[in-house]
Amino acid sequence: MSEQIRFVLDESQMPTHWYNIVADLPTPPPPPLHPATHEPVGPDDLAALFPPELIEQEVTTERFVEIPEPVREVYRQYRPSPLIRARRWEQSLGTGARIYYKYEGVSPAGSHKTNTSVPQVYYNRLHGVTRLTTETGAGQWGTALAYACSLFGVECDVWQVGASFDTKPQRRTLIEVFGGTVHRSPSRLTEFGRSLPEDHPGSLGIAITEAVEVAAQDDSVKYALGSVLNHVLLHQTVIGEEALKQLELAGESGADLVIGCAGGGSNFAGLAFPFLRERLAGHQSPRILAVEPASCPTLTRGEYRYDFGDTGGMTPLMKMYTLGHDFVPSPIHAGGLRYHAMAPLVSHAVHEGLIDAVALPQSECFDTALGFARTEGIVPAPESSHALAQARRVALEAADAGTEPVIVVGLSGHGLLELGAYETYLAGRLEDDPLSDEDLAAALANVPTI
Ligand SMILES: Cc1ncc(COP(=O)(O)O)c(C=O)c1O
């Protein structure tokens, strides 16, 4: 094995197609249902919010979907992203595990989110949309959408979860640098926002309702979602497609373990689904693991049932692991992992036993992130640190067992705008706040019975 560290593809080797896991799943995922009629939703039900190509991608069973050339052109600003062998981190852990991280922090917004914001804005622009609305938690998605909107000349309105708006003014500034407009959610601009106290800490579910409410009222305005939906996961598969090629470049015959953090599920699915395809085809046999925070343990403690994607009940009902659509998680620092549910496709794969999940406390994740930063030189986003913490657990187990597993871990973004969270951790003020059984039961009580 060479001592090479970075496995970099040429621009010409960037994927030309996104991969759709639906084509290869042993059983079809349950359809989304209309929130009022509880009948499967048709394309017309989604037309007020999304352009035709995204609706088509939401329901397609085609294995591959071609990436339009104008989107590839923007991707080339930062893709292919590097796959990096964590040699220094491995050494510090004293492990024989070979750890590779796929680093999405090289994108203009600093995370994987641009992989979907660019095509979403592109398709909307094709249909004359002049303004997009969205929600953002940690601020990464709002930044990515504002960046893509600036490229295609579309206005961008971002409802930022109140707690994050209050504590992350720089993230707001970055969105504004890219030309977006930020509203604290709950805002006074929507009926749903006005139904809540102005100083409410907000949640992703509330911010989604506000952004959907505004888009649904005007034909020239559409809505963009940063995770959860099938088309978003589809766009993220460029991550896994590149990683497969890069692992081969590294001389590995496959991965033993693929790990990603999961909030709504998009970076995880983007990395994992191409590996799952290879496993289903019998080409390699990685265990695939989604990591979530102990304070928002959707996959590990939620229920697999139909629920709304937002708090106000405006979105279709989707079958997914959920903690309840009005669940408000404690304000942990991994804002992007504070979503009440999980992508239907990830949920289905977990339910079918194709993917495993684990929940970790945030203190362990920050502790891991420091060790990673001090060896690899990258400050991980708090969300990504969840994936790293699980990789560390496995690497330490491997050290004890004397094994040498190949671990591929998704480093979905950098944390350079999350230094406030690091400051709290370094000052010893960071607390773990695992979800209590009582709070879980209360949140699940409002999930509709279908
Ligand atoms: C860096 C980073 N990683 C992960 C996530 C979680 O989202 P998803 O599960 O859709 O990848 C976010 C969301 O904001 C994020 O910013």
**Residue 352: DSSP 8-state:** T
Query: 265 CB less than 6 Å from ligand 1?
Result: yes
d(CA 114, CA 147): 8
Token pair 């699980």 is at which residue? 390
Question: Residue 2's pLDDT is what?
Answer: 54
**Residue 97: DSSP 8-state:** -
Query: 227 CB less than 6 Å from ligand 1?
Result: yes
Residue type at position 18: W
Query: 412 CB less than 6 Å from ligand 1?
Result: yes
> Parallel, antiparallel, or unpaired for β 303-308 and 17-19?
unpaired
Question: Residue 338's pLDDT is what?
Answer: 85
> Parallel, antiparallel, or unpaired for β 406-411 and 98-103?
parallel
Both tokens of 346, joined, read 């990830």
> Mind listing the domains of the chain with CATH numbers?
6-13+68-110+231-444 (3.40.50.1100)
Query: 383 CB less than 6 Å from ligand 1?
Result: yes
Backbone angles phi, psi at 12, to 5 degrees: -70, -15
Query: 57 CB less than 6 Å from ligand 1?
Result: no
CA–centroid distance, 306 to ligand 1, in Å, is 23
Question: Residue 333's pLDDT is what?
Answer: 76
Per run of 10 residues, the mean pLDDT along the chain (length 450 residues) is: 87 98 97 93 89 96 98 98 98 98 97 98 97 93 98 98 90 96 97 96 91 92 95 98 98 97 97 98 97 96 95 92 90 81 98 98 97 98 98 98 98 95 94 91 92
Contact yes or no for 258/275 (Cβ under 8 A)? yes
Map 158-178 to HEC letters: EEEEHHHHHHCHHHHHHHHHC
CA–centroid distance, 204 to ligand 1, in Å, is 12
Both tokens of 8, joined, read 């970099």
Contact yes or no for 391/407 (Cβ under 8 A)? yes
Query: 329 CB less than 6 Å from ligand 1?
Result: no
CA–centroid distance, 412 to ligand 1, in Å, is 7
Q: Respond yes or no on whether the N-terminal peptide bond of residue 70 is cis (omega within 30° of 0).
A: no
CA–centroid distance, 2 to ligand 1, in Å, is 32
CA–centroid distance, 135 to ligand 1, in Å, is 13
Contact yes or no for 221/133 (Cβ under 8 A)? yes
CA–centroid distance, 354 to ligand 1, in Å, is 21
Question: Residue 1's pLDDT is what?
Answer: 46
